[in-house]
A and B are shown apart, each in its own frame.
Chain A
Amino acid sequence: MSHATTAPASEAVGRDVPRIDARIKATGEAKYAGDLVVPGMLYGRVWRSPAAHARIVRIDLNGADRAPGVVAVLTGADLSDIDPRYGHALKDRPLIAIDTVRFAGEPVVAVAAETQAAADDAMALIDVEFADLPVVATIDAALAEDAPHLHDTAALTPGLFHGLGKLTLEPGNVCYHHAFARGDVDALFAAADIVVEGEYEFPAVYQYAMEPHTTIAEWISDDEIVVHSSCQHPFLVRAELADLFGVPVANVRIVVPYLGGGFGSKSYTKMEPLTVALARKAKRPVRIANRVDESMVTTRRHGMKAWMRTAATRDGTLLAREARAWFDTGAYADNGPRVVATGADAAPGPYRWEAVKVDAWGVYTNTSPAGSYRAFGATHLQWCGELQVDEIGRRCGLDAVAMRERNLLEPGESVRPGGKPLDADLKGDIRKVAAALDWDAPKAPHVGRGVSVGLLAAGAHPVSTAFVRLEADGTATLLVSTTEVGQGARTVFSQIVAEELAMPVARVKVPGGDTDKTPYDRSTGASRSTTLAGMAVLRAAREVREQLAAIAARVFGLPEAAIELRAGAAWHEGEAVDYPALIAAHFGMVGGELMGRGEVRPDKGSGSYAEGPVFWEVCVGGVEAEIDPETGQVRLRKVVTVADVGKALNPKLVEAQEMGGSMQGIGNALYEEMLFDPHTGALQNATLFDYHVPTFADLPDAFASNIVENGDGPGPYGAKGVGEGALAGTTAAVATALADAGAVLDALPATPERVWRALRTRRDAAAD
């Protein structure tokens, strides 16, 4: 018999429990922000700047404010009573353009009307006179000596969640610099047998959450703000809105319905400040629903250029790596500083180095702002480093697997000084990939096989809380603020509650996030929710479990150790008292509820949370690719990923993350690139016609994911998060596979033209 206060053998965890939102999503009943109608709600539309860098000379509404159905028009002039700048890292962004526009697509005028059509129609009336300023639309242009400065960087103040040390900005277009070095890099390069060096470019990428950003804002009685928004981080949005509009945090309520995908695009604050300001002006609730072309210029992945070199001995032992990377953060920093830091951290790769030196910069340009996108940082630089590892292998006669066997870190080894030691079996992971690719089998001409391995510092800040309420009828309500973006967090959490309370998953209800009701969670992203919010959920459920055990002991008149909690009841030798009866006994009536609270913070619990990162998410992939040498067209014959998750609480959901992440990795590797005109800064492919997102037609011939469960995670039952690694791992493995097939790329995506040119470059070099 198991003890009442220890968890029983797993009944809910580790099983392919169906999603708890499956039915309402299959029937179309699940509500997203755009499906909601608040009484009295107006419809907003935003007039966006066609100019990438200009002074606003004059805004001529031409009667837009008196057009049929129009209720309110907002411009920068309406914000004189507040400091309208926000930005969680740097307060560099006005919520609507004031005097200056810095990217094509920046909001200049916002209109609220009785109907969407009326708001849309008003756009055609508005005329804005601009005085053009010089446009710097590329990293090179922005870093040129005579480049105009987008911001007075020396005067910028940190945002509420900068979190990256002291802010010391030189005048110029750099918003953040992250650097580290250890060992004598120069000496090792000077003495090395083999040095590989290259320059690389990674494109700006659109996350394309299928639901564009949608926000409904209501301003009540001048000091209460209610927002329904498609946001991943409701508590950070709440704090920024309170700060911007000068109201207490408790007066701001953020309600989060189901999200139609996030992938980072809905992290931090996006359209909420503008929508609130428009609602404040209109004195009515207002919805702003972005179109896709608007969401494309709301946030994106950073384009990057990098220089990297790697030194090794002639037997293939890696010695040193040096990298410099510049990340194009667009006109406003958004999450740029964090992306820069993570990219820099990922640059060395998980190898045993004698010396490393990395510098990374976030650079302002007159393009749309860049922020988070799934596996940021790792995706940017892993493919560059892995190409260099393979090139060293080619020069010293070791294949890609042998190179990694020789050089990868072992579990427990230091990844970076002061950080968490490696908590994953990378060599084991790579062996699994190689086996799945039939690594030693002969290859047809123009077929290449590649592997890649990287690490992503996962978890973000380890602060989460949760409440579990065990209702009088024995059902449970879990209050947790993790946003359900599609990852299945609510399902996994319901499994944890069911496990801890020994009750069926179907009896656990998990409503959506609402900052008035669900408790603080730092954010939904960085693969953190299962590990951190999940641990808060576990602790909350365990508190309820302890209360149940104590009540049962009183009811039975026995010590707690003599009682087992199972199947929604307390048991002793074949006699059962179900939870409703226990709760009724406790309160002396039919009613009441038991409530548990769970908390995760850096200095509590396992202790490992304080070390940073919360865990290392592996970014492991394998690809077999075939190139058509005449056209440069790439066909992916097989894609393999590894989810090194400690413990898969719901294996099917883990595999789903791998499938989806790897497909996005394929998009990043082969198709996706936002094209900004280098002279005007305008986005040239702002529709899904021109910006290709992978479809069914782009599926590889085969896919396999490996779930590795070593119980080595800091989350519930030894779990660690998943969701991002497959993207970076796959993108890099496509690059290494193409290199193995003869096309060594220095820029992604690997378009047929780039692949064809890379093949020819190599053929020409061989002919010389």
Chain B
Amino acid sequence: MAVETTAPAQAPALRLLRMTLNGRPVELEIAPRELLLPVLRDRLGMKGAKLSCDVQVCGACTVLLDGVPVSSCTTLAYEADGKSVETIEGLAHDGRLHPIQAAFIECGAFQCGFCTSGMILSTKALLAETARPTRDEIAAYLSGNICRCTGYWNIITAVEDAAGRLAGDGEEEGA
């Protein structure tokens, strides 16, 4: 896996971080203070997660840690040790979009796209917990993900649509 650029300026007491990233084992040395988001973005090249509010409110940096959505902007990288990390880059396989991605596209569930990675990953966690959520359940679960563009309506529709696809009423799209 490509590892690029920035090691921390002062790097005392490096620790070895072992985790599974999108299904593949990863090992790298990290400083204790390093946060998961910059490690994913700057050292492991996973640029899909975005930094926005930096205080765990907006959800743009959401990744799944052992399947649970976390704000990677405020999660120490070391907390991922021994765990499985899933980012947006892990969703599509062999050019085939994940059904949630296909549903977001079909329903027009994003505009600028900056919140989309986090929104899709939160949706994945929601649908793993609740296969057929109600609109209220969707709104409640996704309240930790802000979207400034869409006004949310199309996202709710997309999540319902994705639930249907995952339940087998639709099929994956790709190419």
Q: Which residues of A contact B (CB under 8 A)?
A: 18-19, 21-23, 25-32, 34-35, 37, 43, 68-69, 113-118, 121, 208-212, 258-261, 263, 289, 291-292, 485-488, 652-653, 656, 659-664, 687-689, 693, 695-697, 699, 703
**Contact indicator B110/A25 (Cβ below 8 Å):** yes
Whole-angstrom distance between the Cβ of B9 and the nearest chain A Cβ: 4
Q: Which 5 A-B residue pairings sit nearest by Cβ, starting from the closest?
A: A28-B48, A486-B112, A260-B114, A25-B113, A486-B111
| Residue B75, interface by CB 8 Å | no
Give which listed residue, B88, B108, B146, contacts A28 with CB less than 8 A.
B88
Q: Give per-residue flags for B121-159: 1 if the beta carbon is below 8 A from chain A beta carbons, else 0.
A: 000000000000000001110111111111111111000
A209 and B151 CA atoms in complex are apart in Å by 13
**Contact indicator A696/B50 (Cβ below 8 Å):** no
| Residue B28, interface by CB 8 Å | no
Give which listed residue, B102, B113, B154, B155, contacts A21 with CB less than 8 A.
B113
Q: Which residues of B contact A (CB under 8 A)?
A: 4-10, 38, 41-42, 46-55, 57-58, 60, 87-89, 91-92, 97, 101-102, 104-106, 108, 110-117, 120, 138-140, 142-156
Contacts of A688 in B (CB 8 A): 53, 55, 57-58, 146
Contacts of A689 in B (CB 8 A): 55, 57
A745 and B6 CA atoms in complex are apart in Å by 52
21 A-B pairs whose Cβ atoms sit less than 8 Å apart in the complex: A18-B105, A26-B104, A27-B89, A28-B46, A28-B47, A30-B113, A34-B50, A37-B4, A117-B9, A209-B148, A210-B50, A210-B112, A210-B148, A258-B112, A292-B54, A659-B152, A689-B57, A695-B145, A695-B146, A696-B138, A703-B153
Give which listed residue, B5, B9, B92, B112, contacts A118 with CB less than 8 A.
B9
A31 and B104 CA atoms in complex are apart in Å by 18
**Given known A-B contacts A32-B50, A260-B112, A116 and B148 have beta carbons under 8 A apart:** no
Whole-angstrom distance between the Cβ of B136 and the nearest chain A Cβ: 10
Residue of B nearest to A726 (CB): B151
Whole-angstrom distance between the Cβ of A177 and the nearest chain B Cβ: 33
**Contact indicator B52/A210 (Cβ below 8 Å):** yes
**Given known A-B contacts A37-B5, A113-B9, A659-B153, A696 and B142 have beta carbons under 8 A apart:** yes
Contacts of B106 in A (CB 8 A): 18
**Given known A-B contacts A22-B105, A697-B139, A210 and B4 have beta carbons under 8 A apart:** no
**Given known A-B contacts A23-B97, A31-B47, A34-B51, A211 and B112 have beta carbons under 8 A apart:** yes
**Contact indicator A697/B88 (Cβ below 8 Å):** no
Contacts of A703 in B (CB 8 A): 151, 153
Contacts of B113 in A (CB 8 A): 21, 25-26, 30, 258, 260, 486
Contacts of B6 in A (CB 8 A): 43, 114-117
Contacts of A687 in B (CB 8 A): 53, 55, 57
Residue of B nearest to A693 (CB): B146
Residue of A nearest to B5 (CB): A37
Residue of A nearest to B38 (CB): A116
Contacts of B92 in A (CB 8 A): 27
**Given known A-B contacts A26-B101, A695-B143, A696-B152, A210 and B48 have beta carbons under 8 A apart:** no
Contacts of B87 in A (CB 8 A): 28
Contacts of A653 in B (CB 8 A): 108
Whole-angstrom distance between the Cβ of B175 and the nearest chain A Cβ: 10
A19 and B146 CA atoms in complex are apart in Å by 21
Whole-angstrom distance between the Cβ of B154 and the nearest chain A Cβ: 7
**Contact indicator A210/B60 (Cβ below 8 Å):** yes
Contacts of A35 in B (CB 8 A): 41, 47
Whole-angstrom distance between the Cβ of B50 and the nearest chain A Cβ: 7
**Contact indicator B146/A261 (Cβ below 8 Å):** no
Residue of B nearest to A663 (CB): B151
Whole-angstrom distance between the Cβ of B110 and the nearest chain A Cβ: 6
A208 and B149 CA atoms in complex are apart in Å by 10
Contacts of A208 in B (CB 8 A): 148
Give which listed residue, B4, B10, B148, contacts A121 with CB less than 8 A.
B10
Give which listed residue, B4, B48, B112, B153, contacts A259 with CB less than 8 A.
B112
Contacts of B101 in A (CB 8 A): 26-27
Whole-angstrom distance between the Cβ of B141 and the nearest chain A Cβ: 8
Contacts of B102 in A (CB 8 A): 26
Contacts of A661 in B (CB 8 A): 151
A660 and B48 CA atoms in complex are apart in Å by 23
A22 and B103 CA atoms in complex are apart in Å by 11
**Contact indicator A663/B111 (Cβ below 8 Å):** no
